[in-house]
């Protein structure tokens, strides 16, 4: 049963991240997910310092605020300081992540969170974090419920805002011309990325969050040129990576989060090679 809960948690997070990753890929903002996944660390620490507890709600609020702040700082550096997007992202996430690491080191005696947990995650511990009702009834692991609710919110957001996200992702100037607020959809998307990152952060760690945000969507991007198909395929690749990654870790007796991230890269490599072979065959001139 423990295996089921671990795989289910990984799958829920993989689908949520993969769906949002499609829009990050199309907007050429893939590394923003990396920035947010690292930059929320000081928010988690500050939330603990102010609340005095490691309850989910304070952590979500603190990390989500830092996630949104990260996107604001990146936009500020990009538009006001005229920095390239990659430079703005690099400066922001390394600076905030370093602050988070310093805060963890400084308050190491008070916070049950270390650098290895932050980076690699502890998804193997998911079955132990049980959600109990006031009556004492067990409802299963808490990360599963949180991940499930997050996935519902992300799917609802994408369905509700499909048109706005679609137009602003492909042609921001056209969106502005027809009265669609590009800024609103930008920050709505970044807030969704922040929420998903925060939810996944403690369970799976920063490395797997980044892998799920970028690689399944990039893999789907190699195959299709239709957004709806890309969303479905990215969710499929994310799911397959979570399932196969668990069994790879079980076989090798290694890190589950690391194995899941590895499988995202393996699926990308396989699709890349297949697409290259198909492209070469398509360009070959037949001999008569």
pLDDT tens digit string along 73-108? 887 887 777 777 778 888 888 888 888 778 777 765
pLDDT digits (tens, 9 = 90+) for 158-202: 999 999 999 998 888 888 888 888 888 988 888 888 888 877 776
287 domain residue, yes or no: no
The reply to whether 157 falls in a domain is yes
Please provide the distance, in angstroms rounded to a whole number, between the alpha carbons at the two ends of the chain.
61
Does residue 285 sit within a domain?
no
Q: What Cα–Cα distance (Å) separates residue 33 from each residue in 39, 105, 194, 205? A: 10, 24, 8, 13
- Domain extent, residue 43, equals 2-115+146-269
Euclidean distance between CA atoms 264 and 13, whole angstroms: 13
31 domain-assigned:
yes
Q: What is the domain count for the chain?
A: 1
Summarised one tens digit per residue, pLDDT across range 44-79 is 778 777 776 666 677 777 777 887 788 888 878 877
Where residue 90 sits, what CATH number does that domain have?
A: 1.10.3470.10
Q: Is residue 125 part of a domain?
A: no
Residue 124 lies in a domain: no
Which carries the bigger pLDDT value, residue 218 or residue 180? 218
Contacts of 190 (CB under 8 A, 6+ apart): 32, 36, 67, 68, 71
- Residue 120's CB: how many other CB atoms inside 10 A? 18
Return the bridge partners of 138, or none.
132
Nearest Cα to 271, choosing from 210, 220, 225? 220
Q: Is residue 43 part of a domain?
A: yes
Q: Is 126 among the domain residues? A: no
Question: What's the half-sphere exposure (Cβ side, CA atoms, 13 Å) at 243?
Answer: 7
**Which of 17-21, 207-211, 242-246 bottoms out in mean pLDDT, i.e. has the lowest?**
207-211
pTM of the model: 0.86
């Amino acid at each position: 049963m423990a295996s089921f809960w671990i795989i289910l948690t990984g799958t829920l997070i993989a689908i949520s991240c993969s769906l949002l990753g499609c829009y990050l890929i199309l907007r050429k903002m893939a590394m923003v997910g990396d920035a947010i996944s690292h930059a929320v660390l000081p928010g988690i620490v500050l939330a603990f310092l102010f609340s005095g507890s490691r309850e989910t709600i304070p952590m979500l609020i603190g990390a989500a605020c830092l996630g949104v702040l990260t996107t604001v700082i990146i936009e500020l550096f990009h538009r006001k300081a005229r920095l390239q997007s990659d430079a703005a992202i690099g400066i922001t996430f390394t600076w905030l992540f370093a602050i988070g690491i310093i805060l963890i080191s400084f308050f190491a005696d008070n916070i049950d969170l270390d650098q290895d947990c932050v980076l690699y995650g502890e998804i193997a511990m998911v079955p132990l974090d049980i959600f109990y009702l006031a009556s004492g009834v067990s409802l299963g692991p808490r990360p599963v419920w949180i991940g499930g609710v997050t996935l519902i919110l992300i799917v609802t957001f994408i369905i509700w805002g499909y048109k706005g996200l679609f137009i602003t992702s492909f042609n921001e100037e056209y969106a502005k011309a027809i009265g669609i607020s590009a800024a609103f959809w930008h920050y709505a998307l970044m807030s969704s990325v922040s929420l998903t990152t925060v939810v996944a952060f403690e369970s799976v760690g920063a490395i797997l969050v980044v892998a799920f945000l970028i690689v399944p969507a990039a893999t789907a991007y190699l195959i299709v040129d239709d957004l709806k198909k890309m969303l479905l395929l990215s969710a499929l690749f994310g799911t397959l990576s979570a399932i196969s990654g668990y069994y790879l870790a079980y076989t090798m007796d290694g890190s589950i989060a690391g194995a899941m991230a590895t499988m995202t890269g393996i699926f990308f490599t396989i699709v890349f090679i297949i697409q290259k072979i198909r492209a070469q065959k398509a360009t070959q001139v037949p001999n008569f």
